[in-house]
Amino acid sequence: MNFLKSWIINIFVVMIFITILDAIMPGSNFKKYIDMVTGLIIIITILSPVINFIKGEDFIQKEVLSNTIGLKSEEFSNDNKYLKVYEEVFKSQYKKNMEDNIQQWLSKKYDADIKKVSIDYNSDIGDTEHFGYIKRVEIQLDDVSEDLKAKIIEDISSFYNVDKANITISG
């Protein structure tokens, strides 16, 4: 839009200049020559964007890119508002998937009726090295023996690298 604005301003400046020049020399013998030169100046001013385009100057692309960059920066500030929402959705989906995976894995491996699995994990996305590490696991089962509970705790501890003290089985 700066291009269009500057082009229109150039046209107005040339028109004002020509009007002043015409007012200074109203009845001159050179009037027809002055009119011819001023007409050429007006034509050149109006056609200069087309001439620049033909020469290969990518003024349109530059203008489009500069406007696009301006829009992108506005969109980026709006995106920051939604980024936290996306992170929360991602975290909750991650937690749900992990709980479902643990529940399915235990159900298949031990042929047990797992009622619910709940985890607590490192949800700090900025901590890329430890994000997603499981801190605590709580499992609700139907009546199971203490021996089976010990096997489940051992498997979860070794597979997910969770301290055995942080694994709770109820039921």
134-141: strand order across its sheet: 114-121, 134-141, 167-170
- Domain count for the chain, please give it: 2
91 within some domain:
yes
What end-to-end distance do the CA atoms of the chain give, in Å?
A: 69
Tell me, yes or no, whether 106 and 143 share the same domain.
Answer: yes
Dump the DSSP string for 15-61: HHHHHHHHHHSTT-TTHHHHHHHHHHHHHHHHHHHHHHHHHT--HHH
Domain range for 110 is 86-170
pLDDT of residue 4 exceeding 80, the answer is no
What is the pLDDT at residue 164? 92
pLDDT digits (tens, 9 = 90+) for 32-53: 777 788 888 888 888 877 766 6
114 within some domain:
yes
Percent of the chain residues topping a pLDDT of 70: 77
69 within some domain:
no
Q: Cβ atoms within 10 A of the Cβ of 12, count?
A: 11
pLDDT (mean) for 104-120: 88
- CA count, 13 A, side-chain hemisphere, 58: 5
**pTM, rounded to two decimals:** 0.53
Q: Assign 2 a pLDDT band (cuts: 50, 70, 90).
A: low
Q: How far apart are CA 135 and CA 119, in angstroms?
A: 7
138 within some domain:
yes
